[in-house]
Structure 1
Amino acid sequence: MSDRLTRLLGGEELAWLVDRARTRLERGKPLTGSVSLAGATHGQRRAVETLLGRRAGSGASLSVSLEEVDRVLRASGACDGLAQAVAVLRGPIRDLTALAADRDTAWRTAFAALDTHLADRKALDGRVADRQDLGGRVADRQALAGWRGWLDSSGLVRRLAPEPADAGSLLDRLVAVLARLPSTGVPIGRLAAETCGDAHALDDGRPVATLALSAARALAGLPYAAEGGADARRAAWAAVGVHLDELSSLVLSLGLPGDPTPGEPHVRTLRQLRRAEPINAGLVRLCENPVVVAAAADDLGAACPPLVCVNGRPSAAVWRLLDLLAAGGSSFAYHGDFDWGGVAIAAAVHERVGFTPWRYDAASYQRAASAAPLAGRAVPTPWDPPLSEAMRRRAVRVEEELVLSDLLSDLAPL
């Protein structure tokens, strides 16, 4: 049967016909109707004519009835029909529908631990009214729901681990990392070792690091896709309490207890702060930009009250200093740029340690002169809800430099 079948249907000129029939069978479709081949060669036409025992027509495309081929094969005794012929010539027929279903199941299994973890975190959010009880996280953990959808739409996991089994192992390690975020301050190597069993698992470019960094950005309210550069990576990790090293993470202050030179700005490293005791500095003013600290040092010197600069997205050192101040009984007053990025930074600080606004409310915003356009997505301002709406309506941004004289007058002793 095999030799006769090979002579009838096994030639190169009829390979397209066998392949079309195989595709139909693998998709669970019957071998009925016709299949067509555009631009058929003379040899392909002659092969069909030889198989069917008649002319194959002269149109632009070559059309063949599958039922007719089936009848010819049965009548020749070469095999028990076209379906059997395809199996003999091409091997066992796969059930693509079943294989796809099995693969879908395998992928759901791979994501099961992550989805369970996110569901548990969301449920915990619903039961706990005081967000500080959850470790002062940077952003509501429900932000991870959008990130989870982005993982699917971007195909990031499947690019990093094309096979479900490998993806499952990768996502299991990711879940172990997420269970520790946000942190109150942990070295990234230690986090990697304790969650992944590999101190370098969260190094830049490693698969679990790529996923974990995107989740950290989600928790911090940043775009999920990582920006280029070490500074952006360091800032994203710092926003969830993870530091890349203890010496490069810094915080700038002026007038705090223990500053070595009164009246001069002082830079503390995270390493120093990790060994420090809680600090009671009374009311501590917080600003977003270093220019405020520099101007206060120039104009007020040692007379400047306690002032800390968060310097954009707070570093691990900034968070550590704020935690030490809060633990010591200090209170905070905050000012930052009136733009949506500045508001997001302020929201993170407000959620973690709380503050009263320092010329950082709707009334102050309306008084500030500026013509710079405000771009970006609106962010809530829980310390002064009307501020967000005022910024949305007025649509101008006001940087701290534009109100520097007002801030310095507040800092000046009476």
Structure 2
Amino acid sequence: MTEPDVDRLRRRLGGADTDRVVQRLRQRMARGQPLTGTISLSRPTPAERLAMERLLGRRPGRGTSLTINLDDLDRVVRRSGLHPAGLAAAVERLTGPVPVSAEIRAAEEAAWRTASAPLERLGRRGTELADWSTDRGTVTLLRRLSGTPAAASRLAEDLVQVLALLPAEGTPLARLAARATGDAHALDTDRPLATLVLSAVRAAWWPGDDEPTSPTERRRALWDSAGVLVDELSSTVLVLNVTAAVGSRLHALTAPAANVGEPLVLTLRQLGRERPSFPAGTVHVCENPTVLAAAADRLGPACPPLVCVNGQPSAAALRLLVVLAAGGARLSYHGDFDWGGVRIANLLRSRVPWRPWRYDATAYRAAVVGAAPGTLTGQPVEAGWDAELTELMLRHGARVEEELVLDALLADLAGSE
């Protein structure tokens, strides 16, 4: 086969007046379509018409579009010596190789499969990650967070390294990140790896469907469920007369406060640095600090152990309640009779077992009659521990905060063993 006349090819088919035609040909080639039949250019310029007239040796037409017979164009390219191999070869000589889209997609899919291969190792590691690692949503999340197969491969490898260290036992987040990836900030909130790891944590170690509504507390709670400490000093829980077992570091902190009946703030660091244990028995749990402060004022050291979740439970509060329940404590919970309070109670119920402390339909009915409740607003929520409670709250439309039944709560605490 003779060599193409490259200079003539560029003059006849490589100029601006034939560029639209060449690009249309490239598009066809990229889709794997043959350069046969016809193509049409809408609103051709006089220069485009003239270029094709000269190339084909005749006037293609005078309408609002320019129709070009590709079989004729191929014959001209071959016979004139512009390129003996034909039109497709001429296009590639002018503009470079044309990758076929189907082949590109197949290559990309192969690259993505290779990049996500480390997820398969997670599935073989244990049942807790088997479903998550093979879920289509997980692969989609990996692709979205990484953008390219090369980035996805690095991200998946880092993911495997982090999850190999979980669940941890009170490891600070930055230390986990540095140990797994060499970068202490690799698991910061805005990093893709953190999003991917927390997705795995939610599937493998989060014990229930309900999560805190605050993004910050949700993040802390998820990490805490895998034994990782986040913001270990800013996440706190308020307690009264909750004393850790003798011999633990927490005993040295909690015993003096309990001896004088003073409220104490415990941090997530203090609760997560060791596996604290507490004597079994009944532990009352309330939603609002007002209840705990009043109990300290009225009962002091005589008050039974009392924990305040202070609204949406912090990671520290959840950690403490989980430890108490695991040690045999019987948790009795009271919260506000409103939809927010019911959500909090449902969340706690998904993490630890508790029995209602004046927090059921009977108590609500008595509170509505005996107090001056506010108006119940917001989106209704099903009370997971008492279906009748939800019905009553909808019927009465009344909100009863803990402060309105404070005397009854304090009387219960005063009469507890």
- Provide the TM-score with structure 1 as the length reference: 0.77
Conserved 8 A contact 2:211-2:347: no
Instruction: String of CA shifts for 1:39-70, please: whole Å, max 9, x gaps.
Output: 32221121122112222323333332222212
Aligned counterpart, 2:250? none
Aligned counterpart, 2:189? 204
Aligned counterpart, 2:235? 249
Instruction: String of CA shifts for 1:298-338, please: whole Å, max 9, x gaps.
Output: 44444432111223454343344334434543221123355
Q: For 1:397 and 1:60, locate their aligned partners in 2 and report how far apart those are by CA, in whole Å.
A: 73
1:27/1:60 CA distance change after superposition, 3 Å: same
Conserved 8 A contact 2:382-2:390: no
Aligned counterpart, 2:324? 325
Q: Does 1:24 align with 2:28?
A: yes
Q: Does 1:47 align with 2:47?
A: no
Aligned counterpart, 1:410? 412
Of the three residues 39, 61, 75, the one matched with 1:57 is 61
1:241/1:403 CA distance change after superposition, 3 Å: farther
Aligned counterpart, 1:401? 402
What is the CA distance between 1:96 and its match in structure 2?
1.7
Instruction: String of CA shifts for 1:190-228, please: whole Å, max 9, x gaps.
Output: 32234334333213333312433455567474789994x
Aligned counterpart, 1:133? none
Aligned counterpart, 1:294? 293
Conserved 8 A contact 2:210-2:347: no
Aligned counterpart, 1:108? 113
Structure 2 unmatched runs, 5+: 244-254, 369-373
Letter in 2 for 1:329: G
- Provide the TM-score with structure 2 as the length reference: 0.77
Q: Secondary structure at the match of 2:77?
A: helix
Aligned residues: 389
User: Is the radius of gyration larger for structure 1 or structure 2?
Assistant: 2
Aligned counterpart, 1:373? 377
Q: For 1:323 and 1:23, locate their aligned partners in 2 and report how far apart those are by CA, in whole Å.
A: 62
1:268-307 map, 5 Å: 268-273=266-271, 274-275=273-274, 277-280=276-279, 282-307=281-306
1:209-228 map, 5 Å: 209-213=194-198, 215-216=200-201, 219=206, 221=209, 227=215
Moved more, 57-66 or 5-14: 57-66
Aligned counterpart, 2:94? 89
Conserved 8 A contact 1:253-1:309: yes
Q: Secondary structure at the match of 1:260?
A: helix
Q: Does 1:172 align with 2:157?
A: yes
Moved more, 64-73 or 288-297: 288-297
Q: Does 1:99 align with 2:72?
A: no
Instruction: String of CA shifts for 1:244-298, please: whole Å, max 9, x gaps.
Output: 2443232111122325153332112234333574211510012233333234334
Aligned counterpart, 1:136? none
What is the CA distance between 1:409 and its match in structure 2?
3.9
Q: For 1:371 and 1:97, locate their aligned partners in 2 and report how far apart those are by CA, in whole Å.
A: 62
1:397/1:374 CA distance change after superposition, 3 Å: farther
Conserved 8 A contact 1:5-1:85: yes
Q: For 1:68 and 1:388, locate their aligned partners in 2 and report how far apart those are by CA, in whole Å.
A: 82
Q: Secondary structure at the match of 1:292?
A: helix
Q: Does 1:70 align with 2:79?
A: no
Instruction: String of CA shifts for 1:115-171, please: whole Å, max 9, x gaps.
Output: 6636876x459xxxxxxxxxxxxxxx97x589962772xxx6445432212212212
Aligned counterpart, 1:134? none
Aligned counterpart, 1:149? 137
Structure 1 unmatched runs, 5+: 126-140
Moved more, 198-207 or 96-105: 198-207
Q: For 1:204 and 1:255, locate their aligned partners in 2 and report how far apart those are by CA, in whole Å.
A: 35
Of the three residues 262, 265, 272, the one matched with 1:264 is 262
Report percent identity of matched pairs. Answer: 48
1:183/1:292 CA distance change after superposition, 3 Å: farther
Q: For 1:226 and 1:181, locate their aligned partners in 2 and report how far apart those are by CA, in whole Å.
A: 24
Aligned counterpart, 1:129? none
Conserved 8 A contact 1:239-1:315: no
Q: For 1:217 and 1:342, locate their aligned partners in 2 and report how far apart those are by CA, in whole Å.
A: 23
Letter in 2 for 1:265: P
Conserved 8 A contact 1:284-1:330: yes
Q: For 1:225 and 1:148, locate their aligned partners in 2 and report how far apart those are by CA, in whole Å.
A: 26
Q: For 2:322 and 2:291, locate their aligned partners in 1 and report how far apart those are by CA, in whole Å.
A: 22
Q: For 1:403 and 1:412, locate their aligned partners in 2 and report how far apart those are by CA, in whole Å.
A: 18
What is the CA distance between 1:14 and its match in structure 2?
0.7
Q: For 1:362 and 1:59, locate their aligned partners in 2 and report how far apart those are by CA, in whole Å.
A: 82
Q: Does 1:386 align with 2:410?
A: no
Q: For 2:56 and 2:387, locate their aligned partners in 1 and report how far apart those are by CA, in whole Å.
A: 82
Moved more, 231-240 or 71-80: 231-240
Q: For 2:160 and 2:209, locate their aligned partners in 1 and report how far apart those are by CA, in whole Å.
A: 19
CA RMSD of aligned residues (A): 3.9
1:386/1:47 CA distance change after superposition, 3 Å: same
